[in-house]
Amino acid sequence: MRKIKIAQIGTSENSHGNHIFRALKNNTDIFEVVGYCMPENERAKFPGHMKDYEDYKELTLWEILRNPEIEAVTVETEEVYLSKYALLAAEHKKHIHMEKPGGVNLSDFEKLVETIKSNNSVFHTGYMYRYNPYIMELKEQIKNGDLGDIISVEAQMNCIHPPKVRQWLETFPGGMMFFLGCHLVDLIYSIQGTPKNIIPLNKCSGIDGVTGEDFGMAVFEYENGVSFAKVSAVEKGGFERRQLVVTGTKKTVELKPLEWFVEGGNMITDRYIRENDDWTQFTPKETCTPFDRYSPMMLSFAEMVRGEKQNPWGCDYELELYKTLLKACRK
């Protein structure tokens, strides 16, 4: 099996750039990491993040883009720059794994998608819940009709962030909805498709004098019912209460917590499957085998680059998801 020559473009303080680079380093039978670049002064801005890169060659952006042997890149800059650098990579015909959800301008994202489609190259994004084992199983159950007709999807992704991060959310339309709510919009959209109507309800709590929108909520109207996404950066214990509830006419599946850290840095998810009409019947909890968030994501990307599998989230899906997210972010 040939190794994929790959390089990373950038990292960020609050997202998953370093985790992705570690996943590349931990899978040396799949990837040959040629090097990395920090095009937005990340070395000075995030000095605490640089240790992961010490044993690898720092290149310029153009050394990466103009090297024909580097067939793939991971674009992991701060969110506002993602579409910019992904587009440059696409213009140089690289296969791209990009942090979610993309930059803040629709026109930039549209140009990115158009360029990738013209190259017939791989465009893979870092929506981490796509590789959660229980979520993958749930989507197969929905596809097979095991849940019946879907009535609603309820998705929450809460946490507690310090004032510095909550102020940083002012960088984005919709603040917390753009930053983390994008994961939930991805889940809702992948299960139910394009909604008839979206009602954004994003707010600033004002706590600590912060002016970023640190509480996000959006309601999605469908023919059979109403779904919602809720994100909060001011909820104590919020990480434990992250959840996905999918209600169908045959059964309801609840995942809560969506992810929880266990020893070794892996994650687990708890699941409840409810299909009894008895209001008082207790539902037993199931827990999945501990899993790694990032290696499955990058190994799947490698299979796409080698042409061994099709990307189930193609360019058209990513563009419509991005448009749906922007609608959920606007006031």
Same domain, 138 and 102: no
Query: Do 147 and 232 lie in a common domain?
Result: yes
Under 8 Å between Cβ of 253 and 136: no
Residue 270 sits in a domain whose CATH number is 3.30.360.10
Q: Are residues 267 and 151 in the same domain?
A: yes
Residue 324 maps to a domain: no
| Together in a domain, 273 and 159 | yes
CA atoms within 13 A on the CB side of 325: 30
DSSP3 helix / strand / coil % (the chain, rounded to 5): 40, 25, 40
Tell me which residue of 73, 46, 50, 52 sits closest to 61, measured CA to CA. 73
Strand ranges, E, within 22-146? 31-37, 72-75, 95-98, 123-125
- Phi, psi (deg, nearest 5) at residue 63: -65, -35
pLDDT, residue 2, reads: 85
Statement to judge: residues 143 and 283 lie in one domain: yes
| Claim to verify: residue 16 and residue 89 sit in the same structural domain | yes
* pLDDT at 206 (0 to 100): 97
Please give the single-letter amino acid code of residue 311: N
Check which CATH number belongs to the domain holding 56 and give it: 3.40.50.720
**pLDDT at residue 331, as a whole number:** 61
Q: What is the pLDDT of residue 1?
A: 79
Contact assessment for residue 93 and residue 72, using Cβ atoms and an 8 Å cutoff = no
Count of domains forming the chain: 2
Instruction: Give the integer Cα–Cα distance in Å for 12 and 18.
Output: 8
- The pLDDT value given to residue 80: 97
Q: Which residues of the chain have pLDDT under 50?
A: none
Q: Is residue 169 part of a domain?
A: yes
In a domain? residue 318: no
- Average pLDDT of the residues of the chain: 97
| SS3 state at 150 | strand
pLDDT one-digit tens code per residue, 182-221: 999 999 999 999 999 999 999 999 999 999 999 999 999 9
Looking at the fold, whether 104 and 159 belong to one and the same domain comes out as: no
Q: Is 330 among the domain residues?
A: no
Residue numbers of the domain that contains 93: 4-127+295-313
How confident is the model over 116-129, as pLDDT tens digits?
Answer: 999 999 999 999 99
